Amino acid sequence: MTLHPTVSWAQRAEFIYLTVNVSDITEPTINLTADRFYFKCKGEKEQNEYECELEFLKPVDVEKSKKVLTARNLSMVIYKTEDSEGFWDKLQKGARPNFLKVDFAKWRDEDDEDEDAQADPMAGMGGPQGAGGMPDMSSLMGGGGAGGMDFSQLLNSADFNNMPEGDTSSDEEDEEVQAIATVCSLSLKHVPLPIKLFEYIIFGVIR
C-alpha cells in the first residue's frame, strides 16, 4: 500500500522551502517541473512505499532550485520565477492535501522578510558546513586568531606558564586579567570575548 509522506513548506518572496519528512529514503524518484513536484520512494524502518504530487500555484525556476537528500528527509529550496516572485496565498492549486503542512520553523510573514533577507537558504540543510550549518570554530578565529592574535603563543608564553596555580585572587591578578581581556576584545573585533569567559579559559575557573 502506497502512503503519503508528510510534506512541509514555507516561503520567502524569491523561493519556497519544501521538506519531505521521510527517513531512510531509498530508491527516490524526484521530479520537479515548472508547474509541479512529484516524489516517490521507499523509506522509514519498514521501507514502506511513499508517493506524493503537488501542482504549484505559480511557475517555479527548475534550474535554480536545489535539493539535499539526507538520512532524515528530502529538503528543497525551490526558486520562484521572476514573474511569480512575491508571497503566494498558498503553495498549490486547488484544495490543500492532507499531507501538506506549514513548516513553522522556517515560516516568515511578509512583514518579516527583511530580517533574513541576506541569509543563505541552504544553511542548515547539510551543506559543506555540516548537517547543522555550524561553521568550524577555527574559521571564526581565522586560524591564527582574528586580528592577528595567536592564542598558542599566548598559552606558551613565560608569563602564562609562571601564573600561580589555583584560585589565588588578588587585585593585581584581576587587573592583569582585565588588561589581557581588554587587549583580546580589541583584537578580536568580530569575536569579542567576555571577561569571565576569558578568565575561565586562562585559569579554568569562574570567580
Model confidence pLDDT, tens digit, residues 39-65: 999 999 999 999 999 999 999 999 999
Whether 23 and 43 have beta carbons less than 8 Å apart is answered as yes
Going by CATH, does the domain composed of 6-116 fall within 3.40.50.620?
Answer: no
Domain ranges of the chain: 6-116, 137-203
For residues 141-163, average pLDDT: 49
Residues 161-174: tens digit of each pLDDT: 555 555 544 566 56
Cβ partners under 8 Å of residue 63, min gap 6: none
Q: Judging by DSSP bridges, how do beta strands 74-80 and 60-69 pair with one another? A: antiparallel
